Structure 1
Amino acid sequence: MTSRAAPTARRARLGAELRKLRERAGLTTTQAAVLLGTSAGQLSNIEVARFGVSADRVRVAAHAYSCTDQALIEALVDMTGERKRGWWEEYREILPTKLLDLAEIEHHSTSLRAAHSIHIPGLLQTVDHAREIYRQAVPEMSPPEIEHRISYRVKRQAVLYRDGAAPYRAVIHEAALRMRYGGPEVARSQLRHLLAMGEHSHVSVQVIPFSATYYPGSGQSVYYVQGPVPALDTAQLDQSHGPVFIDSEAQLAQYRLLLERLGAAALPTEQSRELIHTIAQEL
């Protein structure tokens, strides 16, 4: 086993999923440790991601916990081993750890979905638009911090351009399209970028117009990252103190339903494009 002072979201998720399997089996850490031939302390350290865990140990644990979901087991196995350094590691000690975790989760995603009411989703923002958003942040960011954030966001966006990019679907309220962050020119450029991104076959942009009579979720922004199996999905919520990750099955099901309903409330893709184009011309 290897020790890790600051586990990433991916390593922490592996430990949490192993803990869930143990709890579903009705086993205490002491009982499970006996079955696995280890100590309760070592097992606890694995579950809280202080220690890494091998692929063989994951399979042994799944068998001991009577887990028969082979897709889930193999997905957990894929999360073991030494983690390769991703591009986000260059921002460690510079940006909050949660932002690095988000980039890592996106890197391993199989599908991405976003719903926003006031802001354009981060993966679809232009540099000028993002810079203005960061300039308005509370508490105020220093110029170097703003540039680090922008650089990080641009590198995150590469997930939409890589070979075999995961499908990305965004539902945006018309209010976000009409916000003029940075002035008319910046806003117009942002809308044109949205139209250009929507031309990619794996990117879908839908708009909920002001005229809509149905708007579930009361304007809540949600970012949903699909994993290799539904049990490993992650919902991310934006809070003033930073991103919050949700991975409980009941809450994930709730956010999946919310996103489906938001998609149903939005205009079809082509009508959404027409509305974006109209708003851009009005600026």
Structure 2
Amino acid sequence: MPPSKIPPSIRQRRLGAELRRLREQAGLSVTRAGELHGATQSRISNIESGGYPVSADRVRALARLYECADDALVEALTRMTGGRTRGWWEEYREILPAGALDLAEVEHHARSMRIASVVHIPGLLQTPEHARALFRDVVPPLSPPEVEHLVSHRIKRQSVLYGEQSMPLLAIVHETALRMGFGGPEVALDQLDHLLTMSEHPHIDLRVIPFGTGSFPSSGAGIVYIHAEVARLDTVQVDGDRFEFIDAEPQLIKYRAVLDRLEATALKPEASRDVIRRIARSM
């Protein structure tokens, strides 16, 4: 695919969407914003759709035009400029859904993440064999190469948890996910051992919601909350057959509150490890 035909990345689209929100908050139409900025209406529209690369200086100029007084937000937006990030995920373009690439890109730029999952171990904490067992059960069935592409993509996403710039992660997992046994006893036991190992890393906070806790918010869906430099630029990705990214401020507030309650409901880290060890001994 020629570079000119590559669609904008999720960060480019988000930058454009935030500039549109600033314009709308300023009460300016696209036409009027173009006139004041010295640009055509189509140029402003293309910027807001993420289809036209913008410089940090242009972002600052538009922010001044829109009378945005949030300096932290403006500076965070300037760091989203410069065109598409050529990350490792680009090798999967035209192989995996665009949403999979978007998720990897957002995770790569995240300051921290919070994940809540009921039925599945979070992807960032899965072993290759556990992930492979999940993808082999997809309906309609995937071909062996498709499965391997998905597994390698999932494992490469985990690079955010390693190295000097390892990202802080809070993972809240229900006991159901620990007992599902995907891939059989050997794969399941290896997955539990991997969770215990990862939970010992200082930047990983793994917490378990045990059976008998009762009801808890959003008990039917997995949530991935990706924290950006400023809260307004956070992103939520929810489980489903299709990748769905949420960035409307009321929804972000809602999911932050849900995760706060889930964190309060879950066991503390050491008690959570005790649950995992007990389940592993029973296998």
**Same fold? TM cut 0.5:** yes
- Which blocks of at least 5 consecutive residues in structure 2 are unaligned? none
Which string of whole-angstrom CA distances, capped at 9 and with x for unpartnered residues, describes residues 113-145 of structure 1?
100000000000001100000001122111000
Q: Which residue of 1 aligns with 2:159?
A: 158
Query: What pairs with 1:130-169 in structure 2 (closer than 5 Å)?
Result: 130-169=131-170
Q: Which residue of 2 aligns with 1:256?
A: 256
Q: Which residue of 2 aligns with 1:78?
A: 79
SS at match of 2:224: strand
Q: CA deviation at 1:5?
A: 4.0
Distance 2:6 2:100 in 1: 17
Which string of whole-angstrom CA distances, capped at 9 and with x for unpartnered residues, describes residues 197-239 of structure 1?
0000000110000110241213321000001110110000121
SS at match of 1:205: strand
Distance 1:40 1:82 in 2: 21
Which string of whole-angstrom CA distances, capped at 9 and with x for unpartnered residues, describes residues 153-173 of structure 1?
111001100212121000000
Q: Which residue of 1 aligns with 2:65?
A: 64
Amino acid corresponding to residue 273 of structure 1 in structure 2: R
Distance 2:140 2:51 in 1: 32
Distance 1:218 1:198 in 2: 23
Matched, 1:279 2:246: no
SS at match of 2:206: strand
SS at match of 1:38: coil
Query: What pairs with 1:1-283 in structure 2 (closer than 5 Å)?
Result: 5-240=6-241, 242-283=242-283
Distance 1:70 1:134 in 2: 44
Retained in 2: the 8 A contact 1:177–1:191? yes
Retained in 1: the 8 A contact 2:47–2:54? yes
* Structure 1 stretch displaced more, 175-184 or 3-12: 3-12
Retained in 1: the 8 A contact 2:8–2:84? no
Retained in 2: the 8 A contact 1:4–1:50? no
Retained in 2: the 8 A contact 1:3–1:52? no
Alpha-carbon spacing, 1:266–1:56, altered in 2? closer, same or farther (3 Å): same
SS at match of 2:163: coil
Retained in 2: the 8 A contact 1:25–1:66? yes
Q: Percent identity, aligned pairs only?
A: 54
* Structure 1 stretch displaced more, 84-93 or 194-203: 84-93
Distance 2:42 2:215 in 1: 51
Amino acid corresponding to residue 86 of structure 2 in structure 1: R
Q: TM-score, normalised by structure 2?
A: 0.97
Q: Following superposition, which runs of at least 4 residues in structure 1 exceed 2 angstroms of deviation?
A: 2-5
Distance 1:162 1:87 in 2: 16
Amino acid corresponding to residue 135 of structure 2 in structure 1: Y
Q: CA deviation at 1:39?
A: 0.8
Distance 2:106 2:183 in 1: 30
SS at match of 2:239: strand
SS at match of 1:239: coil
Retained in 1: the 8 A contact 2:237–2:244? yes
SS at match of 2:67: coil
The number of residues matched between the two structures is: 281
Q: TM-score, normalised by structure 1?
A: 0.97
Amino acid corresponding to residue 92 of structure 1 in structure 2: R
Retained in 2: the 8 A contact 1:4–1:49? no
Distance 1:16 1:82 in 2: 15
Q: CA deviation at 1:82?
A: 3.5
Q: CA deviation at 1:3?
A: 5.9
SS at match of 1:66: coil
SS at match of 2:226: strand
